[in-house]
Amino acid sequence: MSEKVTAKVGSQEIHIESGKLAKQADGAVTVQLGETIIIVAACAAPNAKPGQDFFPLTVDYREKAAAAGKFPGGYFKREGRPTEKEILTCRLTDRPIRPLFPKGWYNEVQVQTVLLSADGENDPDILSIIGASAALMVSDIPWAGPLGAVRVARVEGQFIANPTHFQQAASDLDLVYVGNEKDVVMFEGGADEISEADFNAALKFAHEACQPIIAAQKELAAKAGKAKRQITVNVVPEEILVEAKKLAGDRIVPALLTTAKLAREAAVKEVFADVGKQLVEKFGAEKVTEFVLKDAQYYIQKEAVRGLILDHGKRLDGRGAEDIRAISGEVGLLPRVHGSALFARGETQALALVTLGTSEDGQEYDSYTGGKTEKNFILHYNFPNFSVGETGRISGPGRREIGHGALAERSVAPLVDLKEFPYAIRITSEIMESNGSTSMASVCSASLALMDAGVPLKRIVAGISVGICTEYNENKEISRYKLLTDIIGWEDAFCDMDCKIAGTDKGITGFQLDLKLKGLPFSIMTETVEQARKARLSIIESMKKTLAEPRSNLSKYAPRIRTLKIDPDKIGMLIGPGGKNIKRIVEESGCEINIDDDGTVHVYSVSEDGMQIAEDAITGMTAEIEIGKTYRGKVVTIKEFGCFVEVLPGKDGLVHISELANFRVKATEDIVKVGDEIWVKCLGIDEKGRVKLSRRAAMEDRDKEMAAKGEKPAEAKA
């Protein structure tokens, strides 16, 4: 028997139903907003795999073309590997639910979302998060939910919950928010330089919007939920953990306080190699397995790191809580790329490369759910194994790389106006060294590289990550905490938060929150936002020392662009039958030419001569003869009463014999012959479109110009 509940969010209704589809899953629900419907099913393995020493959670989201009444693109007519949108939705769904599973429980869990119906107005990514929470709530899988999720836009100063694609297009904010009944759990998105005060207000608005969704899930769980299964969690035996702490003793803290990353890792490794050897000697290899040693090391390191921060005010590399590591930058490193920059913050290095292309170089993609289907600003992020001094599988970008690239992309994109600078822009961030927040380093390096390329960036963009170390009391409330600016890798691993905020000196452009906690109070979140603002402004000042503003010229290897405007009715004439005319111009000039439906013509070329050839051809083919304008034309026909002169391709006019010179002309041939090039001025165009030209008036104008310059006037005769 199915059960259905409804959550009213503003003027919308979100329907959650369980018990109708996927009844053999441990938990399954459908979620509907408008005519967009998804199904989410959750399953957990009955036992952990032998030797399993981590929690294997897989979250998957897939869109079916049939949901939008379409065929998949491509030859096979079947959905293939996940798109970037699907991967990003997987991450959105995964990150808030992951911290709420029991620690030390290693049974495999899969949460799968499938898009069943898409109305083209409501984005299903928010429904995927809601559905994952609801599916886990009604299942027997142990999980500390529920969670509510909402997207927030701001249109004309007003916040909107779960906007349609049309509303989102007019918004200066795209916030995806996940919360529980009390606290913030996760957020992600971008904005057009929104202020910190407005950002905090958006978070609170989002939190209120989540509450009906949370209440509906609790109602559904009460009606259709299963009893939670009994589980066994993996913990290090107490006697072994106590002995391991004793053996590590006073050695662990000095090892952790080793300044350089690789030296710190080596020092800690040496300590625990000795600890492990002694534990095996005392308890035996059967009890002291690789898993036990690994977990014991994690617990001891975590306890020591947190103790240093909370009890002694010490960070692993010696910095204060709000200190930023040393920053350096360099631009123009690579001679043939269109723009390049290296940004370093401590032991984190991001090398950004900028490529400028034509609008044809932009990315096009299928969209079953509505919204954009193309983009001309792209940022790709790559994280090679050598950046952390390791070996490993070398393959294409994974989910993490796609997610980090998307965060950096939306942080920088609002500062580039592609209407004023109509190029396709691709930035690749190549991580050269990593020890904390490479995505925010990518924002900084991308900003510098764009300016190095001569892209008219409105303002410098910078990003920073803020972490937190917390301690809870017996009431499970945070009793003390320390915010940490510019966290390094081990502070991310052993502490509780990675809050990334990017922006300019005017406001926030990109943000992403990941928590290991079940939630964070708004008062602490507000402090975090302010601490990030101070750090961002400091980084921007440092970046200005490297390059303060965009270069005035593009790289000589970058294509130049010239934009012309023609009458839309003449687009067909410019293209010609079968593209004959435009192909000829492209061949003669070597340029690339793109024509928009509104008559805007973009000409791209690395050659100034080629650009001029193309511009002259396009102007000549599409321009109209203007009254009062002087032209250099060719005589095409001789008549007794005058001659016809072609002043634009395919456009000519009559020079009457009386207008050939400033004296009486007996015969037209006395002044001009077929093929002669002469200056003429347009005197008028009659109602039938016939053009009246004058050689005499053109030469009189030229005489006046020469006289004004103190030169001898030319004679108005042959």
Please give the pLDDT value at position 486. Answer: 96
Q: Which domains does the chain have, with CATH numbers?
A: 3-224 (3.30.230.70), 238-312 (1.10.10), 327-390+398-546 (3.30.230.70), 560-622 (3.30.1370.10), 630-708 (2.40.50.140)
- In this structure, the strands spanning 377-382 and 424-433 are parallel
Compute the distance between CA of residue 378 and CA of residue 90 in angstroms, rounded to an integer. 20
Burial zone of 649 (CB within 10 Å; 0-12 exposed, 13-18 middle, 19+ buried): middle
Instruction: Give the residue among 665, 663, 662, 672 at the shortest CA–CA distance from 638.
Output: 672
Instruction: Give the residue among 118, 103, 20 at the shortest CA–CA distance from 63.
Output: 118
Q: Which two tokens stand for residue 579?
A: 């593209």
Instruction: Give the residue among 259, 256, 159 at the shortest CA–CA distance from 202.
Output: 159
Strand locations in 93-138 (E): 109-117
- Kindly tell me the sign of the dihedral angle through the C-alpha atoms of 611, 617, 621, 625: positive
Q: Which two tokens stand for residue 15?
A: 């329907």
| pLDDT of 649 above 90 | no
Please give the pLDDT value at position 364. Answer: 81
If pLDDT is split at 50, 70 and 90, which confidence band does 716 have?
very low
Please give the pLDDT value at position 235. Answer: 87
| pLDDT of 126 above 70 | yes
Which residues have C-beta within 8 Å of that of residue 602, sequence separation ≥ 6? 358, 359, 422, 561, 562, 563, 593, 594, 595, 596
Q: What is the arithmetic mean of pLDDT over 460-468?
A: 97
The terminus-to-terminus CA distance of the chain in angstroms comes to: 101
Please give the pLDDT value at position 441. Answer: 97
Cβ contact 233:245 at 8 Å: no
Q: Which two tokens stand for residue 372?
A: 């954009």
Q: Which two tokens stand for residue 82?
A: 């996940």
The answer to which of 77-81, 479-483, 592-596, 710-714 has the lowest mean pLDDT is 710-714
Q: What is the pTM (predicted TM-score) of this model?
A: 0.86
Cβ contact 499:485 at 8 Å: no
Q: What is the arithmetic mean of pLDDT over 653-676?
A: 93
Q: Which two tokens stand for residue 633?
A: 């034309």
Better pLDDT: 611 or 172: 172
**Amino acid letter, residue 342:** L
Please give the pLDDT value at position 713. Answer: 60
Q: How far is CA 281 from CA 274, 277, 288, 678, in A?
A: 11, 6, 9, 104
| pLDDT of 712 above 70 | no
Considering the chain, what percentage of its residues have pLDDT values greater than 70?
Answer: 99
Which residues have C-beta within 8 Å of that of residue 82, sequence separation ≥ 6? 60, 61, 62, 90
3-state DSSP assignment of residue 168: helix
| pLDDT of 372 above 70 | yes
If pLDDT is split at 50, 70 and 90, which confidence band does 325 have?
very high
Q: What is the pLDDT of residues 241-300, one digit of tens each?
A: 999 999 999 999 999 999 899 999 999 999 999 999 999 999 998 899 888 899 999 999
- Kindly tell me the sign of the dihedral angle through the C-alpha atoms of 383, 386, 387, 388: positive
Mean pLDDT for the chain overall: 92
Q: Which two tokens stand for residue 190?
A: 């971008």
